[in-house]
Amino acid sequence: MRIVFKTSYLQDIRPWKHGYQLSLYLILLALALAAPLLLDDFYLGELTNVLIWAIAGMGLMVLTGHTGQASLGHAAFLALGCYANIILLEQGLPFLLAFPLAGLITGILGVIIAIPALRMHGIYLAIATLALSVLMDDIIVLSEPLTGGVAGKFAPPVSVLGIEIDRWGTPRAFYWLVFAVTVIVTLGYINLLRSPLGRSFIAVRDSEVSAQAMGVHIARTKAMSFFLSCAITGLAGALMGLFAGAFNNETFSVVISILLLMMIVIGGLGSIHGAFLGAVVIGFLPQFLSISKEWVGALIGGNTVAIPGLETGVFGLILIVFVLFEPMGIYGRWLKIRTWFELFPFYRRDMFKRQKSYLKTERLR
Amino acid sequence: MDNLQLVISGLANGCVYGLIALGFVLIYKATEAVNFAQGDMMMLGAFVTIGLTNADHMGLPFWVAVPISLGLMAGFGVLLDRLLIRRMFGESQTSVVILTIALGFVIRFVAGLIWGHEPQTLQNPLAGRDIRFGGLVLGLEDVAVIVVTVLLTLSLYLFFARTKLGLAMQAASQNQLAAYYMGIPVKRVQGLIWGLAGMVACVAGILFAAKGAVDPNSGLLGIKAFAAAVIGGFGSLPGALAGGLIVGLIEPFASRYIAAGYSQIAPYALVLIVLIVRPHGLFSQIRLKKV
């Protein structure tokens, strides 16, 4: 059992609670930095993929996890970021300029799209963003001179400070690039949650009416949340485009939007950890399935069979189990386990019990 | 004359959208949740009927197979409520949305496993026949789709407006606790609604598979049905049908009069416009939220 004894006000705003926690994260950071030296190229690629998904997850987490606005259309912003980045690169801009600009452009477009969406909430917002995600496919095809349409585009190799970075040629450099972006975004996110803006996001999520009563400007806060969320998602999209190498209108389909939302739900809504844990699940599930399929195939003695749609089916099942039994996701489960150890003999089952309410309609006559 | 033909085929398509939207509205009216898997339930209903009817599956006569599959899908709906939705009592709307999306994925996967990914058509006694009406050639299926849909919507509307059970369902959605106090068996009512939604999905599936081919990804049609439900405002049964018809009518006219590439955008663009102009749909019932 650990008791943190606070001796200064600084301890309240520090991102870590105690030195032990800080040291754990530093070890994780060191391990992640050293990963290219420990892993072979294949697993390094997978890890890069997981980090990119984690950035995208953080983007959606700002909006859904912390501001409470469910979006089923974030693949549209992934696409925007990806295309903006590549188009800027093709105009001859250096990567270090094009990449943040891509994020900025996506963020601004996100706000423009969000302004009408600010009046909606709940399912209506989810449906509007879903429609947007479906539309994005057609918009990319229609704006062919800019986006290459159905034929798609190829990501050129980029160079950062004179170092050539290419997904296939120099996977290590690419990993470090993605890792650097991940660290910057994560630190920014942690800081955001400590700032008045982050607090107002959470206030809006928990109750719009009460937040308004506390002097939070709802529309402005939501717009800000959309901006940050879309900007981060745009960065992830840019990296995703570089990682994939080639992409067209179907790369960022509605299914990606839905997967992204499911990912952060499995990971744990309302926590940065959740974005990472969800990304690990989504990144390694295909590997895990193909390995287990081979294993089962060997056990039965037959050849492995290709089952189309297996991944999304299994993913759906996992999600159902989580929504029913652990609505707070993997991170929520981990919190419970950790609390059990920290409070060892005193943990009680009801400590994390959520308050349930009876349904009362919002449709009033 | 050409336009009239477009209108009829558009109306028939719109009826299928309307039926799926009807399923959304049913569940929304009674439980204030949105079932994102309704499109996939439609697909499942279609495949169950195909499995019972088609010669290369079980080969039952059409009119025997239809009631059986209606019953099966109603049972499926009740089972869903029992196993999944009931546990979500008191959770937020968003979690129910996510649950039903996941459910849709699973249904699509299972349907693919059982019936394969090839598009299949329902063998039905109406196929291939048509009615000539002046210079107009109408597929008998199209006419049947329109008639069945209108009848179903009308009876559901009367059910909600006139019968005791229908009123109980509305009461249960408006204030669960008060409904309990008034002696309404809220849980059973909710189970019934899901059964009803399963049945409506099955009807939509049968009509859809009779008109054209169905494959496991047909459930994505549900997105267009959202358009219908949103235009109708989610709370109103005739609104859902009207929305479905509007979406169904816009599609053929858009593909005829608007340049290719722009036409398939029309229904989704319409949703966005409706949501921007009237954030709660055209037939909205929502007022300001109270604390």
> Rounded CA gap, A14 and A192, in Å?
13
Residue B73 lies in a domain: yes
Are A359 and B87 inside 8 Å of each other by CB? no
The pLDDT of residue A365 is 39
Residues of B in contact with A139 (CB under 8 A): 265
- Please list the pLDDT of chain A residue by residue as tens digits (365 residues): 667 788 888 887 788 877 788 888 899 888 888 888 888 888 888 888 899 999 999 999 999 888 888 888 889 999 989 888 888 888 878 888 888 899 999 999 988 887 877 777 677 788 888 888 888 888 888 777 777 777 777 777 777 776 777 777 778 888 888 999 999 999 999 999 888 999 999 998 888 888 888 898 888 898 899 999 999 999 999 988 888 878 877 788 888 888 888 888 888 888 888 899 999 988 888 888 878 877 777 776 655 566 667 778 888 888 888 888 887 888 888 888 888 888 877 777 777 776 666 655 555 43
CA distances from B195 to A76, A143, B29, B75, B175 (A): 35, 45, 14, 6, 21
Buried b (16+ CB within 10 A) or exposed e, A273-290: bbbbbbbbbbbbbeeebe
- DSSP per residue, B9-66: HHHHHHHHHHHHHHHHHHHHHHHS---TTHHHHHHHHHHHHHHHHSTTTT---HHHHH
> Tokens 């709802």 belong to which residue?
A218
The pLDDT of residue B291 is 46
Residue B272 lies in a domain: no
Side-chain-facing half-sphere of A175: CA atoms under 13 Å: 23
Radius of gyration of chain B (CA): 19
With residue A337 as reference, give the H or E element that holds it. helix A329-342
Q: Which two tokens stand for residue B156?
A: 């559901």
Residue B228 lies in a domain: no
Q: Which of A263, A281, A359 to mutate to test the interface with B (most CBs of B within 10 A)?
A: A359
Q: Which two tokens stand for residue B84?
A: 């999944």
Smallest CA–CA distance from A259 into chain B, residue: B102
Residues 6 or more apart whose Cβ sits within 8 Å of residue A126: A70, A71, A72, B94, B97
Least Cα separation, residue A268 to chain B (angstroms): 12
Cβ-contact A164, A173 below 8 angstroms: yes
> Rounded CA gap, A4 and B216, in Å?
55
The pLDDT of residue A9 is 84
Residues 6 or more apart whose Cβ sits within 8 Å of residue A65: A264, A269, A270, A271, A274, A275
Q: What are the start-end ranges of the H helices in B163-264? A: 164-174, 176-181, 186-211, 222-232, 237-257
Read off the pLDDT of residues B170-203 as tens digits, 9 standing for 90 and up. Answer: 888 777 788 888 888 888 888 888 998 999 999 8
Smallest CA–CA distance from B35 into chain A, residue: A123
Smallest CA–CA distance from B99 into chain A, residue: A320
| Enclosing domain of residue B98 | 14-218
Least Cα separation, residue A121 to chain B (angstroms): 9
Residues of B in contact with A261 (CB under 8 A): 98, 101
Partner-chain residue, chosen from B31, B175, B226, that has the shortest CB–CB distance to A127: B226
Read off the DSSP letter of residue A353: P
Phi-psi region of A68 (alpha: psi -120 to 50; beta: other; left: phi over 0): left
Smallest CA–CA distance from B233 into chain A, residue: A124
Smallest CA–CA distance from B275 into chain A, residue: A128
Cβ-contact B226, A354 below 8 angstroms: no
Look at residue B214 and give its three-state secondary structure.
Answer: strand
The pLDDT of residue B154 is 87
Domain count, chain B: 1
CA distances from B269 to B223, B263, B265, B273 (A): 12, 10, 6, 6
Partner-chain residue, chosen from A210, A313, A323, that has the shortest CB–CB distance to B105: A313
> Rounded CA gap, A287 and B70, in Å?
40
Least Cα separation, residue B49 to chain A (angstroms): 23
Q: How many CB pairs under 8 A join A and B?
A: 154
Q: Does the pLDDT at position B11 exceed 60?
A: yes
Q: Which two tokens stand for residue A109?
A: 């477009």
The beta strand positions in chain B, using DSSP E, are 130-133, 136-139
Cβ-contact A252, A76 below 8 angstroms: yes
The pLDDT of residue A305 is 61
Partner-chain residue, chosen from B93, B104, B113, that has the shortest CB–CB distance to A123: B93
Partner-chain residue, chosen from B91, B99, B223, that has the shortest CB–CB distance to A320: B99
Smallest CA–CA distance from B93 into chain A, residue: A122
Read off the pLDDT of residues B44-74 as tens digits, 9 standing for 90 and up. Answer: 998 888 888 877 777 778 788 888 889 999 9
Least Cα separation, residue A96 to chain B (angstroms): 35
Residue B80 lies in a domain: yes
Read off the pLDDT of residues A104-115 as tens digits, 9 standing for 90 and up. Answer: 999 999 888 878
Are A316 and B106 inside 8 Å of each other by CB? yes
Look at residue A354 and give its three-state secondary structure.
Answer: coil
- The backbone torsions φ and ψ at residue B116, rounded to the nearest 5 degrees and listed phi first, read 80, 175
Partner-chain residue, chosen from B98, B234, B289, that has the shortest CB–CB distance to A261: B98
Cβ-contact B213, B207 below 8 angstroms: no
Chain-centroid distance, C-alpha B125: 23
Residues of A in contact with B272 (CB under 8 A): 116, 128, 131-132, 135
Cβ-contact B275, B263 below 8 angstroms: no
> Rounded CA gap, A244 and A39, in Å?
20
With residue A300 as reference, give the H or E element that holds it. helix A272-300
What average pLDDT is seen over chain B? 81
Q: Which amino acid is at B226?
A: F
| C-alpha torsion sign, points B213, B98, A210, A272 | negative
Read off the DSSP letter of residue A121: -
Least Cα separation, residue B141 to chain A (angstroms): 30
Angle between helix A74-90 and helix A254-267 axes, rounded to 10 deg: 120
Q: Which of A123, A209, A256 to mutate to test the interface with B (most CBs of B within 10 A)?
A: A123
Q: What residues form DSSP beta bridges with A344?
A: none
With residue A247 as reference, give the H or E element that holds it. strand A246-247
Read off the pLDDT of residues B221-271 as tens digits, 9 standing for 90 and up. Answer: 888 888 888 877 777 778 888 888 888 888 888 777 777 667 777 778 887
Residue B285 lies in a domain: no
> Rounded CA gap, B85 and B99, in Å?
8
Residue B235 lies in a domain: no
- The backbone torsions φ and ψ at residue B34, rounded to the nearest 5 degrees and listed phi first, read -110, 130
Smallest CA–CA distance from B33 into chain A, residue: A123
> Rounded CA gap, B36 and B108, in Å?
13
Partner-chain residue, chosen from B112, B177, B286, that has the shortest CB–CB distance to A308: B112
Partner-chain residue, chosen from B34, B106, B175, that has the shortest CB–CB distance to A317: B106
Cβ-contact A83, A140 below 8 angstroms: yes
Cβ-contact A233, A81 below 8 angstroms: yes
Chain-centroid distance, C-alpha B72: 17
- DSSP per residue, A62-82: IIIIIS----S-HHHHHHHHH
Are B90 and A357 inside 8 Å of each other by CB? yes
Least Cα separation, residue B262 to chain A (angstroms): 8
The pLDDT of residue A259 is 86
Query: Which among A34, A50, A54, A26 has a CA at the least distance from the CA of A189?
Result: A54
Are B285 and A119 inside 8 Å of each other by CB? no
End-to-end CA distance of chain A: 54
Between A87 and B88, where is the model more confident?
Answer: A87
Read off the pLDDT of residues B142-171 as tens digits, 9 standing for 90 and up. Answer: 788 888 888 888 888 888 888 888 888 888
> Rounded CA gap, A254 and A282, in Å?
16
Angle between helix A310-325 and helix B93-115 axes, rounded to 10 deg: 150
